[in-house]
Amino acid sequence: MLFALSLLFALAVPPVEAAPAPWYVWASPSSEHRVCAQTSPGAAWRKVAGPYRNAACRAAPYPTR
């Protein structure tokens, strides 16, 4: 009985696809510094390029929709 319920639950749940978070190039407004990060390094930083597939921000960007 427990096996049947487990099997029913496993078949009823749709598959989940997870992807890594994209990387962006962020620029500091007070200097010429640029960093590659998934989230903003601070409140004043602005996003200038991306999204990219890796932490080097050199790989082919994700396709835009």
The domain limits of the chain are: 20-65
Closest CA to 25 of 17, 16, 35, 40: 35
What is residue 16's predicted lDDT score, i.e. its pLDDT?
A: 76
Strand order in the sheet with 23-27: 34-37, 23-27, 46-52
Residue 6 has pLDDT above 80, yes or no: yes
Give the span between the Cα atoms of 22 and 55, in whole angstroms.
9
pLDDT band at 48 (very low <50, low <70, confident <90, very high): very high
Structure tokens at 19: 């992807």
Give the span between the Cα atoms of 7 and 58, in whole angstroms.
44
What is residue 35's predicted lDDT score, i.e. its pLDDT?
A: 97
Q: What is the DSSP letter of 4?
A: H
